Amino acid sequence: MLTLRILSFMALVVGAFKLFGLRFGELFENFINKPQSIKTQIAEVTNRKKKRFILRQIEEVSEIMRITGREDKIPVIFIACGAFAIVGTIIASLLNNVFMIPILGLGMMALPIWYVKLTASHFRKDVSEELETALSIISTAYIRNEDIVTAVEENISYLNPPIQNIFTDFLVQLKLIDSDVIKAIENLKTKVENDVFKEWCDALIQCQYDRNLKNTLTPIVTKLSDIRVVNMELELTLAEPRKEFIIMAILVIANIPLMYFLNKDWYAVLMYSTIGKLILAIDIAAVFICGAFVVKLTRPIEFRR
């Protein structure tokens, strides 16, 4: 009955959004951009008052998605959080464990957020590798012909998204909107959140005033290779604690069905008695709490300079 009520509530919420023409994305956007009093803003800026935990998570995930170029998928992530929370609640209801309903609901709601945090470095690594290739071949061509437009045009077909899209927009701006090269480079600099790329753009701007500075581009591109090596070493170091946690979490969860085959009486106490349900809920809560600390303490570190 509880599962049917949850499904009915879901259908009611979706129907209400459809009826009033609302969108989940607008709801979260309004929640994030909710106006605050001047006193609250001053307290947050001076670190005397921390934002609420849920609001901090929403802002952090939104910032990660924006930096990695996936801003259009922000509503999808939060909808997935709601869906996972409902699935966790249904699973706890099917197990007839009241103690586990809030634990599974909140715990599974955090899974998409953890996924975004842990995969952000992989997305940045792919972008960094493609950026290294792009800057290398464009710099070589620019040193040869001393024309950034020609250099980009010659190599645009060898680039891959999303870097290819960035330089395509660069060419479109120069050819169809504004022929000011310096202004186009300034706009290009804002497209990628990478310190080396910004440094390369600044050097390229200086080359527009003095072509003899074009040889400074190659050493800047070399930094991307050094940074990529350091980031790989950091990622390998941080991956070990995550692997150990995943193995331990699997062992803890796998013990529940394993107990059914080892001792059915113990399994019955764990699954059907009040004290057993409470112990099971505490175990699952411990897994999620430890998972939150693992995600927080082993988040990928991006070395930039």
Task: Please report, to the nearest 10 degrees, the dihedral formed by the alpha carbons of residues 114, 118, 60, 169 taken in order.
Answer: -130
Highest mean predicted confidence (pLDDT) among 196-205, 208-217, 252-261, 286-295: 196-205
Nearest to 288 by CA among 89, 120, 106, 115: 106
Q: Specify whether the backbone of 301 is left (phi greater than 0), alpha (psi in -120 to 50) or beta.
A: beta
Omega prior to 241 cis, within 30 of 0: no
56-66 mean pLDDT: 73
- Quote the CA–CA distance of 32 and 54 in Å, as a whole number: 10
Task: Please report, to the nearest 10 degrees, the dihedral formed by the alpha carbons of residues 91, 93, 96, 98 taken in order.
Answer: 110
| Domain boundaries along the sequence of the chain | 1-109, 123-227
- Confidence band (pLDDT; 50, 70, 90) for 128? confident
How confident is the model over 171-194, as pLDDT tens digits?
998 888 888 888 998 988 888 877
How confident is the model over 203-215, as pLDDT tens digits?
999 988 888 888 8
- Tell me the residue length of the chain: 305
- Quote the CA–CA distance of 74 and 121 in Å, as a whole number: 17
Look-up: residue for tokens 């979706």? 14
Whether residue 241 has pLDDT greater than 50: yes
- Confidence band (pLDDT; 50, 70, 90) for 305? very low
**Percent of the chain residues past pLDDT 70, beyond the cut:** 78
- Quote the CA–CA distance of 1 and 214 in Å, as a whole number: 72
Look-up: residue for tokens 């000011």? 180
Nearest to 80 by CA among 120, 25, 16, 6: 25
- Quote the CA–CA distance of 255 and 283 in Å, as a whole number: 11
Whether residue 274 has pLDDT greater than 50: yes
Whether residue 52 has pLDDT greater than 80: no
Q: What is the pTM of this model?
A: 0.59
Look-up: residue for tokens 């998605």? 65
Whether residue 34 has pLDDT greater than 80: no
- Quote the CA–CA distance of 59 and 32 in Å, as a whole number: 7
**Residue scoring higher pLDDT (294 or 21):** 294
- Confidence band (pLDDT; 50, 70, 90) for 31? very low
Whether residue 197 has pLDDT greater than 60: yes
